[in-house]
Structure 1
Amino acid sequence: MAIDKLEVLERYFGYKSFRRGQEKIIDEILRGRDVLAIMPTGGGKSLCYQIPALILDGITIVVSPLISLMKDQVDTLNSMGINSAFLNSSLSTYEFNEVINGIINKKYKIIYVAPERLLSNEFITVITQVKIAQIAIDEAHCVSQWGHDFRVSYKGISTFIDKLIERPLITAFTATASEEVRNDIVNLLKLRDPKIFVTGFDRENLRINIVKGIDKKKFLVNYVKNNTKDSGIIYAATRRDVESIYDLLKKNNINVGRYHAGLSNDERIKCQEEFINDETSVIVATNAFGMGIDKPNIRYVLHYNMPKNIEGYYQEIGRAGRDGEASECIMLFSPADVITQKYLIEVSTEDPIRKNNQYKKLQQMTGLVYINNCYRKYILEYFGDSYEGECGNCSNCLNKGEVKDKTIDAQKVISCIYKMKRNFGIGMIVDVLRASKNKKLLSLEFDELSTYGIMKEYSSNGLKEFINILIAHGYLDVNEEYGTVALNNISFKVIKDEVKVLLKEVNIESNRTEINDLFDKLRLLRQEIAQSEKKAPYMIFGDGTLREMSIKYPTSKLEILEVSGVGEVKYDRYGERFIEVIKDYIIENNIKKEIVVDKEEAEEIEDDYFEVNSNKELLEKLIKVREGFARKLNLPASMVLSKNTLKEISGRYPNNLDKLKDIGGIGPKKIESYGKSIIEEVDKYIIENGLDPTWKEKKRKKLIIDGETRGTSEIVLDRLNMGEDIEDISEDMEISISTILGYFTDYIKSTGDYSININIDKYYDKEHEELILEAINKNGIDKIQVIKKSLPDYIKYEAIRAVILKSVIWSKERS
Structure 2
Amino acid sequence: MTVPVGPAELARPTGTRPPAAEAGAEEVLRRIFGYDAFRSGQREIIDHVVGGGDALVLMPTGGGKSLCYQIPALVRSGTGVVISPLIALMQDQVDALRALGVRAGFLNSTQDVGERRAVEGALLAGELDLVYLAPERLRVEATTRLLDRASISLFAIDEAHCVAQWGHDFRPDYLQVSMLHERWPTVPRIALTATATPETHREITARLELADAHHHVSSFDRPNIQYRIESKKEPKAQLLELLRTEHAGDAGIVYCLSRASVERVAEFLVAQGIPALPYHAGLDARVRAANQSRFLREDGIVMVATIAFGMGIDKPDVRFVAHLDLPKSVEGYYQETGRAGRDGQPSTAWLAYGLQDVVQQRRLIDSSPGDAAHRRRLSTHLDAMLALCETVECRRVGLLAYFGQHGTQPCGNCDSCLRPPESFDGTIPAQKLLSTVLRLDRERNQRFGAGQSIDILLGRRTPKVEQHRHDALSVFGIGTDLRELEWRAVVRQLLAQGLLAVQGEHGTLALTEASAEVLRGSRSVALRREPARPLRSSTGGARGDGGAEGGGRTRAEGGGRARRGAAAPVELSAEAAPVFEALRAWRAASAKEQSVPAYVIFHDATLREIANRRPVDLATLAGISGVGENKLAKYGQQILEALAEFSG
The TM-score, its normalising length taken from structure 1, stands at 0.65
State the SS of the aligned residue for 2:281: coil
Q: Displacement, 1:128?
A: 0.9
Q: Displacement, 1:370?
A: 2.1
Which residue number corresponds to residue 526 of structure 1? 587
Which residue number corresponds to residue 4 of structure 2? none
Which residue number corresponds to residue 406 of structure 1? 424
Asked if 1:273 corresponds to 2:296, the answer is no
Between 1:260-269 and 1:371-380, the stretch displaced more is: 371-380
Q: Aligned equivalents of 1:47 and 1:17: distance in 2? A: 12
Q: Aligned equivalents of 2:233 and 2:526: distance in 1? A: 30
Which residue number corresponds to residue 148 of structure 2? 128
1:541 to 596, 602, 608: 602
- Identity percentage of aligned residues: 35
Asked if 1:7 corresponds to 2:68, the answer is no
Structure 2 counterparts to residues 17-416 of structure 1, below 5 A: 17-164=37-184, 166-191=185-210, 193-225=212-244, 227-278=247-298, 281-345=301-365, 348-399=368-419, 404=422, 406-407=424-425, 409-414=426-431
Contact kept? 1:259, 1:285, Cα under 8 Å: yes
Q: Aligned equivalents of 2:216 and 2:639: distance in 1? A: 38
Which residue number corresponds to residue 485 of structure 2? 461
Q: Displacement, 1:410?
A: 2.7
State the SS of the aligned residue for 2:627: coil
State the SS of the aligned residue for 2:326: coil
Q: Displacement, 1:48?
A: 0.8
Q: Displacement, 1:390?
A: 1.4
Amino acid at match of 2:486: G
Between 1:340-349 and 1:112-121, the stretch displaced more is: 340-349
Q: Which runs of 5+ in 1 are unaligned?
A: 588-815
Contact kept? 1:359, 1:481, Cα under 8 Å: no
Q: Displacement, 1:80?
A: 1.1
Q: Aligned equivalents of 2:637 and 2:469: distance in 1? A: 82
Contact kept? 1:232, 1:300, Cα under 8 Å: yes
Q: Aligned equivalents of 1:349 and 1:122: distance in 2? A: 34
Whichever of the two has the greater Rg, that structure is 1
Between 1:573-582 and 1:367-376, the stretch displaced more is: 573-582
Listed one character per residue, the Cα deviations across residues 185-215 of structure 1 (whole Å, up to 9, x for unaligned) are 1121122512222102111111112232442
Q: Displacement, 1:471?
A: 5.5
Pair 1:446–1:359, CA change in 2 (3 A): farther
Q: Displacement, 1:267?
A: 1.0
Pair 1:376–1:279, CA change in 2 (3 A): closer
Q: Displacement, 1:251?
A: 2.1
Q: Displacement, 1:168?
A: 0.9
Pair 1:446–1:99, CA change in 2 (3 A): farther
Contact kept? 1:432, 1:446, Cα under 8 Å: no
Pair 1:479–1:7, CA change in 2 (3 A): farther
Measured on the aligned residues, the alpha-carbon RMSD in Å equals: 3.2
Q: Displacement, 1:77?
A: 1.0
Amino acid at match of 2:480: K
Q: Displacement, 1:235?
A: 1.4
Contact kept? 1:37, 1:172, Cα under 8 Å: yes
Structure 2 counterparts to residues 443-522 of structure 1, below 5 A: 447-448=473-474, 453-469=477-493, 472=496, 474=497, 477-479=499-501, 484-486=510-512, 488=514, 505=531, 507-512=534-539, 516-522=577-583
Contact kept? 1:518, 1:550, Cα under 8 Å: yes
Contact kept? 1:10, 1:567, Cα under 8 Å: yes
Listed one character per residue, the Cα deviations across residues 1-38 of structure 1 (whole Å, up to 9, x for unaligned) are 55322221121112222223322222322233211111
Contact kept? 2:276, 2:303, Cα under 8 Å: yes
Pair 1:153–1:569, CA change in 2 (3 A): same
Contact kept? 1:40, 1:175, Cα under 8 Å: yes
Pair 1:477–1:48, CA change in 2 (3 A): farther
Between 1:421-430 and 1:290-299, the stretch displaced more is: 421-430
Contact kept? 2:249, 2:300, Cα under 8 Å: no
Pair 1:161–1:522, CA change in 2 (3 A): same
State the SS of the aligned residue for 2:606: helix
Between 1:274-283 and 1:292-301, the stretch displaced more is: 274-283
Q: Aligned equivalents of 1:518 and 1:484: distance in 2? A: 62
Q: Displacement, 1:147?
A: 1.5
Q: Displacement, 1:412?
A: 4.2
Contact kept? 1:411, 1:494, Cα under 8 Å: no
Pair 1:347–1:79, CA change in 2 (3 A): farther
The TM-score, its normalising length taken from structure 2, stands at 0.81
Q: Displacement, 1:160?
A: 4.4
Q: Displacement, 1:542?
A: 0.8
Higher helix share goes to which structure? 1
State the SS of the aligned residue for 1:331: strand
Listed one character per residue, the Cα deviations across residues 571-620 of structure 1 (whole Å, up to 9, x for unaligned) are 22213322333343354xxxxxxxxxxxxxxxxxxxxxxxxxxxxxxxxx
Amino acid at match of 1:22: Q
Q: Aligned equivalents of 1:304 and 1:411: distance in 2? A: 31
Q: Aligned equivalents of 2:510 and 2:353: distance in 1? A: 21
Asked if 1:570 corresponds to 2:631, the answer is yes
Alignment coverage as a number of residue pairs: 579
Q: Displacement, 1:277?
A: 0.9
